[in-house]
Amino acid sequence: MSTYFISDIHGCYKEFKLLLEKSDFNYTKDYLWIAGDLVSRGPDSLKVLKYIYSFRKRVKIVLGNHDINLISVYIGVKKNKKENFFDEFLNSEDSFQLINWLRKQSLLKIDKKRKIIMVHAGISPKWNINTLQFYALAIEEFLSNDNYFLFLEAMYNNNINFWDISLKRLDRLRYSMNTFTRMRYCYPDGQLNMFYKQSPKLIKYPLLPWFFIHQRLIKDYSIFFGHWSSLKGTYIPKPFFSLDGGCCWGGELNMFRWEDKKWFSQSYLGK
């Protein structure tokens, strides 16, 4: 049995299938950990979701911002946009089943025995592992609830960017959602910057990639994340593993096998 890590498939179905073949992924005995953003930007979000659903018992997923966006578009909380490539999904007879499966996925995966953490975007420098788990579970419970649309209606807020335990519960959940699914840069005091997406080579202090702000409260874990395709060529310190190769932007889809620490890649093939 092997464990594979991938992120930001973004509807790139052809590349995803080829990468699984290239890496010898075995549906009957291996596990695939996906660090979010299964959908959007690429042309085949429906195919990607249906395919992953077909072997879902061998998959561990954390939701990314584009996955949350698909759920929000589906229920009418957000408007659909051309660049999402959601039309095929929204018009599919499978959409109801797939949305209800997708919204019940996690914001966080932890393997305490092997000391592995997987998130989509990042981890707040202000959190220890107990806080990390608590707020991931709180969001998961809301998304799994029948009234999840009320939760999503209240979640979109860029102004909640600083962690304080004295914040109202809703604001703590907003901060947590931003952290799990959207964060890239922080200030040295841990405040999130929700606007800059460029490579760290183009950004000056005091902004820092979140993983450069020492995670003193979470020790000894290997941390896998996606979300940030412009990190290519950036030094990323151990124990962090950046998975997003920007396939939907003409880059590549990357996969990492845990047991022998081997990387696999598949270049973008075009729409």
Nearest to 160 by CA among 142, 181, 175, 145: 175
**Could you tell me the CATH number of the domain that includes residue 61?**
3.60.21.10
Mean pLDDT confidence for 100-124: 96
Spell out the residues 6+ positions from residue 107 whose beta carbon is closer than 8 angstroms to its own. 62, 63, 119, 120, 136, 139, 140, 176, 177, 180, 181
pLDDT of residue 219: 81
| Peptide linkage before 209 cis (omega within 30 of 0) | no
Per the structure, how many domains does the chain have? 1
Can you tell me the distance from the alpha carbon of 64 to that of 8, in angstroms, rounded to the nearest whole number?
Answer: 8
Question: Sheet of 185-186: strands edge to edge?
Answer: 192-193, 185-186, 208-209
Asked if residue 152 has pLDDT above 80, the reply is yes
Q: Could you tell me the pTM of the whole model?
A: 0.96
pLDDT per position as a tens digit, 41-86: 999 999 999 999 999 999 999 999 999 999 999 999 999 999 999 9
Other Cβ atoms within 10 Å of 188 Cβ, number:
12
What is the Cα–Cα distance from 178 to 172, expressed in whole angstroms?
10
The answer to whether residue 218 scores a pLDDT higher than 90 is no
Judged against a pLDDT cut of 90, whether residue 138 lies above it is answered with: yes
Give the pLDDT score at 154: 93
Structure tokens at 217: 């409260």
Query: pLDDT averaged over the chain?
Result: 95
What pLDDT score was predicted for residue 213? 86
Q: What was the pLDDT predicted at 217?
A: 66
According to DSSP, the β-strands at 59-61 and 109-111 are unpaired
Q: Kindly tell me the burial class for residue 181, based on how many C-beta atoms sit within 10 Å of its own C-beta (0-12, 13-18, 19 or more).
A: buried
Domain, as residue range, for 109:
3-267
Q: What is the pLDDT of residue 168?
A: 95
Yes or no: say if 36 and 108 are a contact pair by the CB < 8 Å rule. Answer: no
Say yes or no to pLDDT of 215 above 70: no
Residue 256 pLDDT class (50, 70, 90 cuts):
very high
Whether the pLDDT of residue 106 is over 90: the answer is yes
Cα 236 to Cα 36: distance, rounded to the nearest angstrom: 20
